[in-house]
Chain A
Amino acid sequence: MAAFLARRLAWGVLVLLMVAILTFFLSRVVPADPAAFLAGQNASEATVARIRAEYGLDQPLAVQFGRYLGGLAVGDFGQSLRTHRPVAVDLAQFLPATLELLIVSFLVYVTVSFFLAVAAARHPSGWVDACIRLFTMLGTGIPVFWLGMALQFVFFYRLHWLPLSGRYPIREIAPPSITGFLLIDAALAGKPIAVWRALQSLTLPALTIVLNLLAVGTRMSRAALIAEYDRPYIRTARGKGVSARAILYRHVLRNVLSAVLAVTTMQFGYMLSWVILVEVIFGWPGIGLYAYQSFQVFDYAPVIALAMVSTAGFVVINLLMDLLYPLIDPRVRRIAA
């Protein structure tokens, strides 16, 4: 197991290095001068040159890359030209908002897609199955930006049920930031209403992500469940009078869990890419919005940092799933042994 872990970790580091190289050089081929932006529209050439030197942008590309890699090795992602702060400090501030959105969306997605898949698989081609398929296909078929805006239109503009954007109602005082996870901070502050307000703000962005992912997860899980239900041992169990609930939980689910887990892992990767768009639409102050705003002014360091963090997230999730497989499936345990 240790060798397996070491191998996977080595691969993870290699992938991160490749991403660092690729994003660094891609960001440098864009023909724009971030120092000119930073200096302001009416600054003199001398001022622009001074800023270029301050941020090391006047150095040859190889030198800039060497410095960047050296910094990465000690957790230094460089300095943001836009916020004038170390990127690591910005990431520490914005990452919890993104993680909170991702974790809540992921949990909702896994739960909802599971129940929908079970409901659909119990009566394949029935009307429940048809409705679920239609609903999930609609969610996936609609572009994420349009879906987000449509949800804003209905739940904010028309119904006034949920806030338009942000993590917390604008006019109210948010609980003090302790962990950066607003739901947790609100709970720590002992204010149930603050937890509720944070949940309200979270609802539409999370719903946008969940609805966009639901079709794939539901359909894959449904297919796996139907295939499992069709196996001879299930027919035997039914013949023996085992209850439908017991068949589902004791037999079918245990056998399809690996397949469902594989799909879910892939979906988490998609969530990481969707989150940028969703954060922009809902003004969600996470790393996606941070990178988007930075990219607009050619502030390279945050963009590269986002790519690195997303890749690292994907690598870690995959690693966790690899570790989970043997625990949930004895067949994998035997192969590994």
Chain B
Amino acid sequence: MTTKAKWAFAIAVVLAAVLHGAGSRADDPSTLVWADAGEPSTIDPAKANINWELTVTRNVYDRLVNFDLSKPAKLEPALATSWTQDGTAWTFKLRDGVKFHDGSPFGAADVKASIDRLLRIGQGQSYLVADITNVTVVDPQTVKIETKGPNVFLAGNLSRIEIIAKADIDKHAGDADKGDAWFGEHANGTGPYAFVAWTRGAQIELKRNAGWWGGFPKGAFDRVIDRFVGDGASRGRGLEGGEFDLASFVPRDDALRIGHSAGFHAVEGNNLWAWPALYLNMELKPTSNPDFREALVRAFDYSAMIKYFQGGAETGRGPVPSWFPGSPENSEPPIATDLAAAKAALARSGLAGASFTCSVPSGFPEFSFAATVLQSSAAQIGVKVQIDEQPFVQAITAIKEDKSNCFVLGNANLSPTDATKFFAAHYLKGGFFNSGKFYDAGLEATMAKIPTIADEAERNALLKQAFETVVNAHYIIWAARPTTVIPEPDRIEGYRIDPAEYINVRFWEIHAK
């Protein structure tokens, strides 16, 4: 071997030795790395609204009640150990001996301060409890919450409302923004994981709260890194390569492939109400015509969507999925492709040969695919659809400002038991997702009435009525309802699909095998 060759060989050996293992999972079984789809804009529980913001708030803060992910209607004690409803007043008995991560004790004053602040700010999950009129501290361990009218869903909806420390609110009350900036980037909760640090642009670090009242399974992780990885394919690659332990929003094809590959298993479950759903503009021609909308609903090729989701999806029969408590779906007729009925409806509309634009938020391949299916389905009845792919805010603005006839979206419900909040956002006047401006006076009244009814059967009958109102208006094409798939490495277990949120992670349930 020449001198040059010897040098080259030596360098290669050293490089291989140093490089080896740099990209693989470190030998650190006490740390869990969760690859999230984005960086939080805020970790203030009064403002957190997007999945990657809720990742932090759900795990750092506690709520008054939790719910069983397997049975959403079954509420479980959390910071409150019991609760009762008496007309418009709910009384919650609070857990004793709970402490915030800074060591200060938790009590009824914290609950009042948290809810008052949430309602003052009016963002985040506040819409779930917007009918609260008064919160009263009865004693240090008892709190009374009053609503405008009787609301049977209040306890369930409080399972989405995080409790912060009154002392923190008071400490920052003198700030110009009343502490909003502080809560935006600091967190002091009572939850299973404590906030450690936020490295902007990279990750948030949490550590296990060993004194948490809830207890942890054996093998629970001491440290959690919430890593921000904007690209879905990169999250999938990182998961496969061992850089991440779990990842959110991995593109479905990749999630299925990874979940069924060696060393992984797929966690599947229902939580999507429609994904995608095509909203039709009720005020702009030609979709303002009810017969024209019916023609589109009947012409749509639902089987193409099922094939797209590789069989892991169903076609919804309406706005509320069968697995949601009280859903009438199973008693409703299926929605299926019927070209003859579509042509007949089009003829009734008098809009044969019409054309319109459909706005599609970019970055969601399944949304683009649904728009393409609409385009080809509409072509079967002689209607021309032009697809306009834009960033989300731009796409929804286009239909809201009557510059587009159609908007593609996916949706889930954040309340485990209350469908009225979903209806409010999607079908009632002023609802953020009611992009096509659907309005029905009867539906508005029904939705206001449902929470006030104590009898479950009576509530369900009204929900069925609301369900049919929306279906018969042909406002939305429910293209598909796929299952949610999360690939989990075999070395880990405990991830469960949250039936009331698309991607939600409970770090306190996840543990090493």
A201 to B491, CA, bound (A): 26
Chain B, Cβ-Cβ closest to A196: B18
A296 contacts the other chain (CB 8 A)? yes
B8 contacts the other chain (CB 8 A)? no
* Cβ contacts under 8 Å, B21 to chain A: 160
A157 to B258, CA, bound (A): 13
Contact with A along B397-416 (1 / 0, CB 8 A): 11001010000000000000
A281 B231 Cβ-Cβ under 8 A: yes
- Given known pairs A31-B401, A31-B403, the reply for A43 and B26 (CB within 8 Å) is no
* Cβ contacts under 8 Å, B384 to chain A: none
A244 to B245, CA, bound (A): 56
* Cβ contacts under 8 Å, A90 to chain B: 200
Of the listed stretches B90-98, B232-240, B277-285, name the one at the interface; the rest are far from the partner chain: B232-240
B23 contacts the other chain (CB 8 A)? yes
Which bucket holds chain A's interface residue count? 35 or more
- The count of residues in chain B whose C-beta lies closer than 8 Å to any C-beta of chain A is 61
* Cβ contacts under 8 Å, B398 to chain A: 31
Q: B19, B122, B243, B394: which contacts A164 (Cβ < 8 A)?
A: B243
* Cβ contacts under 8 Å, B393 to chain A: 32-34, 36-37, 297-298
B241 A290 Cβ-Cβ under 8 A: no
Of the listed stretches B39-47, B449-457, B480-488, name the one at the interface; the rest are far from the partner chain: B39-47
Chain A, Cβ-Cβ closest to B15: A161
A23 contacts the other chain (CB 8 A)? no
A324 to B403, CA, bound (A): 54
A47 to B42, CA, bound (A): 17
User: Closest Cβ of chain B: how far from A218's Cβ, in Å?
Assistant: 23
B22 contacts the other chain (CB 8 A)? yes
- Chain A residues touching B, majority SS: loop
A139 to B231, CA, bound (A): 23
B273 contacts the other chain (CB 8 A)? no
* Cβ contacts under 8 Å, A162 to chain B: 19, 22-23
B430 contacts the other chain (CB 8 A)? yes
A272 contacts the other chain (CB 8 A)? no
A131 to B31, CA, bound (A): 46
* Cβ contacts under 8 Å, A81 to chain B: 41
A171 B33 Cβ-Cβ under 8 A: yes
Contact with A along B43-80 (1 / 0, CB 8 A): 00001010000000000000000000000000000000
* Cβ contacts under 8 Å, B124 to chain A: 40
A171 B225 Cβ-Cβ under 8 A: yes
A157 B240 Cβ-Cβ under 8 A: yes
Of the listed stretches A102-110, A114-122, A147-155, A308-316, name the one at the interface; the rest are far from the partner chain: A147-155
Chain B, Cβ-Cβ closest to A152: B237
User: Closest Cβ of chain B: how far from A233's Cβ, in Å?
Assistant: 34
A41 B425 Cβ-Cβ under 8 A: yes
A159 contacts the other chain (CB 8 A)? yes
A67-119 residues at the B interface, CB under 8 angstroms: 81-84, 90, 93-94, 97
Contact with B along A156-184 (1 / 0, CB 8 A): 11011111111111111010000000000
* Cβ contacts under 8 Å, B430 to chain A: 44-45
User: Closest Cβ of chain B: how far from A35's Cβ, in Å?
Assistant: 10
Chain A, Cβ-Cβ closest to B25: A171
B373-410 residues at the A interface, CB under 8 angstroms: 391, 393-394, 397-398, 401, 403
- Given known pairs A41-B433, A84-B42, A84-B184, the reply for A170 and B22 (CB within 8 Å) is no
A292 to B39, CA, bound (A): 12
* Cβ contacts under 8 Å, B185 to chain A: 84
A280 contacts the other chain (CB 8 A)? yes
A169 B233 Cβ-Cβ under 8 A: no
* Cβ contacts under 8 Å, B243 to chain A: 156, 163-165, 170
Q: A43, A170, A286: which contacts B225 (Cβ < 8 A)?
A: A170
- Given known pairs A47-B122, A171-B33, the reply for A166 and B202 (CB within 8 Å) is yes
User: Closest Cβ of chain A: how far from B431's Cβ, in Å?
Assistant: 8
Chain B, Cβ-Cβ closest to A153: B237
Q: A159, A165, A196: which contacts B229 (Cβ < 8 A)?
A: A165
B183-216 residues at the A interface, CB under 8 angstroms: 184-185, 199-203
* Cβ contacts under 8 Å, A32 to chain B: 391, 393-394, 397
A83 B22 Cβ-Cβ under 8 A: no
B234 A152 Cβ-Cβ under 8 A: yes
A165 B238 Cβ-Cβ under 8 A: yes
Contact with B along A197-208 (1 / 0, CB 8 A): 100100000000
Interface residues of A (CB under 8 A from B): 30-34, 36-47, 81-84, 90, 93-94, 97, 149, 152-153, 155-157, 159-172, 174, 196-197, 200, 280-281, 283, 285-286, 289-290, 292-293, 296-298
Between A and B, 6 residue pairs with Cβ closer than 8 Å are: A31-B403, A39-B123, A42-B432, A160-B241, A165-B234, A171-B31
